[in-house]
Amino acid sequence: MVEAGRAVPRSLSPPCPPLRRASGRTTIGRRRPIAGRPRESPMHTPAPPNAHPPVERLVATHAGAVTTLLCEAFFDYPVMRYVLGDAPDYAGRLVRLIGLFTAGRWLRGHPVLGLRGADGALQAAITMTPRGAFPVPAALAELAEATWSTLGADAKQRYATLCEAWSATEPAGEHWHVNMLGVATAAHGAGHGGRLLAAALDLAAEDPAAQAVDLTTEDAANLGFYTRRGFELAGHCRVGTALETWTLVAPRHAGGGFGKLRP
């Protein structure tokens, strides 16, 4: 998809059996009302004029801003439309669903990176799941139960079906997973998506046991964005008649990092 939302939020899935992770393919075993703007983290320093904004490691106090951003970025994303269906109050249901996805990262301490605009407002965010298996915190299990109770059994079953498709194309080996990459509409074209993805790949490369970084997309228009950055198509699956999912993998390159070798 456009920079608005690049990867599938494989971040928690009560209806699916614990996959290894949300690859995060998660998560609740496996990858609230929207709050106002969060306080800046100690890591954040304003960028000088005309400079690229620094990538910031976000923390749980930024949860409201991240949810708001991702709800905008993924509003019409095929996964969200598929899972939530045609029930009333789509916008409110989307907040609950994305809140559940991102809770899988916050409650496990997994990486969430962001970029801000000159006014300090969050303009882009990426969520990741490191390699390995992660237990489901009690708070996450409770949130998942409450969320799916609200969204309904049909939505839960559709997500379970999607999780099965993701599981079938999940690459073997020790890999990190990009769950979601979202850019605010007003910031499209600024290059935030590419910079955040590069930062995420660099972070994963610091793990010497990681063999690759993988992600999925449900929008064919996104494939070029990822392949230009060193990702390789590793799988494709159709979910029903209206949804397709592609799995892409960035292996380690000769320089030790992931994706396209950068100078």
Tens digits of per-residue pLDDT, 199-219?
999 999 999 999 999 999 999
| pLDDT reported for residue 240 | 82
24 or 70: which leads in pLDDT: 70
Backbone angles phi and psi of 249, in degrees to 5: -130, 135
The residue assigned the tokens 């993924």 is 74
Helices 138-151, 90-106: axis angle to 10 degrees equals 170
Residue 255, amino acid: G
Pairing state between β 232-239 and 175-183 = unpaired
Residue 100, amino acid: L
pLDDT band at 229 (very low <50, low <70, confident <90, very high): very high
Which 8-state DSSP code applies to residue 16?
S
| pLDDT reported for residue 207 | 97
Among the residue ranges 15-19, 102-106, 184-188, the one predicted with the least confidence is 15-19
Residue 160, amino acid: A
Express as a percent the part of the chain with pLDDT over 70. Answer: 80
Per-residue pLDDT at 225 exceeds 90: yes
| pLDDT reported for residue 241 | 85
Per-residue pLDDT at 138 exceeds 60: yes
Domain ranges of the chain: 56-251
56-251 in CATH: which number? 3.40.630.30
Summarize the confidence of residues 179-190 as an average pLDDT: 96
- Asked whether 129 and 11 are in contact (CB, 8 A), the reply is yes
Partnered with residue 178 across adjacent β-strands are 128
Quote the CA–CA distance of 12 and 234 in Å, as a whole number. 22
Residue 135, amino acid: P
